[in-house]
Amino acid sequence: MSDLSVHIGKLILKNPIMPASGTFGAELTPLLDINRLGALVPKSVTVSARDGNPVPRVCETSGSMINSIGIQSKGIDDYVTHQLPAYRKFSPPLIASISGETIDEFETLAARLDAQPDVAALELNISCPNLRANGQAFGMSAEATAQLVRTVRAITDKTVIVKLTPNVTRIQDIAQAAEHAGADALTVANTFLAMAIDSETRKPRIGNIMGGLSGAAVKPLVVRLIYQVHQATRLPIIGSGGVMNGQDAIEMILAGASAVQVGTATFLQPNAMTTIIDDIDDYLNRHQIEHLTDLIGQVDLS
Amino acid sequence: MKLFNAKIIANHPINARYWHMILDASMLDEHVAPGQFFHLQCGDAQQNPLRRPLSVFHYHQASATLEFLYLVKGSGTQQMTQRRPGDYMNLIGPLGRGFTLPEQGALLLIARGVGVATLHALAREARAQNKAVHVLLSARTANDLLTATALAEIGANVYTVTDQEGTSNLEQVRPRLEQLIHAEKIGALYSCGSRRLSKLAQDLAEKYHLKGELATEAHMACGIGDCYACACTIRSHGQLKTARVCSDGPVFPIEQVVIQ
């Protein structure tokens, strides 16, 4: 047995595998051994209840899918009174993904969740491409990112993870802005703004016209982003985008990720995450590597 | 609900657009209600990363067989047609909330297209409990009138209408249904497969104060209630709210469904 544990800010995860926000819930209990995960990431929470976007909210594209759910949330009160207690029976640390349309909303959410002992860390969803007109988001501006992260940093000592958007010209600039503003870790990255059209009906295949692309097809793009961010910052990186198996997860770790999120793969195989943990363990044994951390950023460029 | 592999016993076309798949479901250890669905991996995960939700056409507990009637529509269902007897399908299920039978009276089922697959399971369940079943089957052509013979064989009264014959328009269908409601002691209405017919069923249920249920469908991702991809609007206690087709449905009380 190799040591799969990794550090993300103040958190020590027993292994690097966790769900990507929006793809995980307690409903998976009969199909997945949730206690084996490195961390839990329930769906993003917003201050007030939101209904989400028009349907269709998902469509399938080659080796990938587009979603535009629109953060369907019952609001922070319900999250604290109903959702957090539902995860109390599981042992992995809980990372609360929070989303807002203003800095004040992020501040409100961070303050509420800072007081919750069940929350081990916050993941700031500054990058969801659905929230603002034409896909605009905080994460597209280094200044807005810095201001937001500074605000949240000032009110919580919990681990703060910033989930970056890939829909930027230079992701390194946003990563550095988050680092200087006090982030503990970065998730690289959210989904890629995308669009698909039904050629028969001429209609967009997503109700919201555009959505976020995820799945196997985006993995090489994300490996590149992880590599670039790893070169530009010292923060631990959580890779996210298109991991379907253990080999994909190792690839992200070699590019510089300390941990890996799994999303689309869970839709196809609800137990994908535990299979990936087993794959990683096999890989480490096969290569006689004692600690997974020895692999982080070890892409061989010689 | 469980995740399991089921061996294909048969998989063949029944006409130009529809296929019938029979699976060995001996792995299943829970009841499957009419109106519930299974989430199927169609084929190559790289090509089709999303599962397809298919409602149960027939679940026969004694022989442990599970049947689906599917419309070949896109690359996922296309891949399903390539599967041969002896191959395995990967399934999650049974999922969602199914139909409930009326305490009293006959059932009136109003189905169009592949919607009949869902209602067929209900007809069987009702006939097994010796309830009278009337089915109005609507389709584009006589060729697309699926399972009319099978429904008649289990003792359902089947009435067919088609676009081809010009008998499927609401002006003709409505009086036929009203006549059945009056003549056959209908206790409940059920519909699936057509927005137009579902709206009609909703009107009739309200007008004649009948119990009713609609089976809805949606594009899904997880299929188990986590992702909110399959959201729909329902009317509950006078208020509109969002529900999940996969886990709050796919069958809803007829008065709750908001038909767009």
Domain ranges of chain B: 2-95, 106-218
A-B interface: how many C-beta pairs under 8 angstroms? 95
The whole-angstrom separation of Cα A168 and Cα A221 is: 13
β-sheet bridge partners, residue A293: none
Distance CA A154, CA B253 (A): 49
- Give per-residue pLDDT as tens, A211-231: 999 999 999 999 999 999 999
pLDDT band at residue A243, thresholds of 50, 70 and 90?
very high
Topology of the domain covering B106-218: Rossmann fold (3.40.50)
Mean predicted confidence (pLDDT) in A252-262: 98
Adjacent-strand bridge partners of A3: A291
Question: pLDDT per residue over B91-146, tens digit each?
Answer: 999 999 999 999 999 999 999 988 999 999 999 999 999 999 999 999 999 988 88
User: Is A167 a residue whose pLDDT tops 80?
Assistant: yes
A43 chain-B contacts, CB cut-off 8 A: 226, 228
pLDDT one-digit tens code per residue, A107-146 = 999 999 999 999 999 999 997 654 444 556 889 999 999 9
The pLDDT value recorded for residue A169 is: 95
CA atoms within 13 A on the CB side of B257: 29
Is pLDDT above 70 for B248? yes
In the sheet that holds B133-139, the strands lie side by side as: B157-162, B133-139, B106-112, B186-192, B211-215, B251-253
Tokens found for residue B220: 């899904």
Residue A128 annotated to the active site: yes
Please state, in angstroms and rounded to a whole number, the distance separating the CA atoms of residues B66 and B94: 11
pLDDT greater than 50 at residue A173? yes
Quick one: tokens of B193? 């497969």
Record the tokens describing residue A124, joined without a space.
């700031």
Nearest CA in chain A to B225: A27
Architecture of domain B2-95: Beta Barrel (2.40)
How many angstroms separate the CA atoms of B171 and B194, rounded? 16
What is the length of chain A? 302
A23 and B222 in contact by Cβ < 8 A?
Answer: yes
Q: Do the domains spanning B2-95 and B106-218 agree at the CATH topology level? A: no
pLDDT 10s digits, A8-26: 999 999 999 999 999 999 9
Q: Which of A128, A148, A162, A225 is catalytic?
A: A128
A25 contact residues in B (CB cutoff 8 A):
225-226
The string of pLDDT tens digits covering residues A65-100 is: 999 998 888 999 999 999 999 999 999 999 999 999
Which residues fall within 8 angstroms of residue A3, CB to CB, at 6 or more apart? A290, A291, A292, A293
Q: Which fold has domain A6-295?
A: TIM Barrel (3.20.20)
Asked if A267's CB is within 8 angstroms of B51's CB, the reply is yes
Q: Are A45 and A99 in contact (CB under 8 A)?
A: yes
A289 labeled binding residue: no
- % helix / strand / coil in chain A, to the nearest 5? 35, 20, 40
Contact A267 B49 (CB under 8 A): yes
Domain residue ranges of chain A, discontinuous segments joined by +:
6-295
User: Which residues in chain B belong to E strands, given as ranges?
Assistant: 2-13, 18-24, 37-41, 52-55, 58-60, 65-71, 88-95, 106-112, 133-139, 157-162, 186-192, 211-215, 231-236, 239-244, 251-253
Contact assignment for B242 to A52 by CB distance below 8 Å: yes
Helix ranges, B103-143 (H): 115-128
pLDDT for B220 equals 96
- Angle among Cα B119, B124, B126 to the nearest 5 degrees reads 90
Chain B residues close to A64, C-beta within 8 Å: 49
CB within 8 Å of B169: residues ≥ 6 apart: none
* Helix or strand (DSSP H, E) at A154: helix A142-155
A283 band by pLDDT with thresholds 50, 70 and 90: very high
Burial class (CB within 10 angstroms; exposed 0-12, middle 13-18, buried 19+) of A79 = buried
B227–A69 CB contact, under 8 Å: yes
Give the model's pLDDT for residue B44. 85
Task: Output helix, strand, coil percentages for chain B, rounded to the nearest 5.
Answer: 25, 35, 40
pLDDT at A37: 98
pLDDT attached to residue A130:
44
ipTM: 0.92
- Asked if the bond preceding A56 is cis, omega within 30° of 0, the reply is yes
Residues contacting residue B64 through CB under 8 Å, at least 6 positions apart: B24, B25, B26, B28
Neighboring chain B residues of A267 at a CB cutoff of 8 Å: 49-51, 221-223, 227
Contact B161, B82 (CB under 8 A): no
Note the pTM of the prediction, 2 decimals: 0.94
**What is the tens place of the pLDDT at every residue in B16-67?**
889 999 999 999 999 999 999 999 999 888 889 999 999 999 999 999 999 9
**For A57, which of B75, B223, B231 is closest by C-beta distance?**
B231
- pLDDT tens digits for range A40-70: 999 999 999 988 899 999 999 999 999 999 8
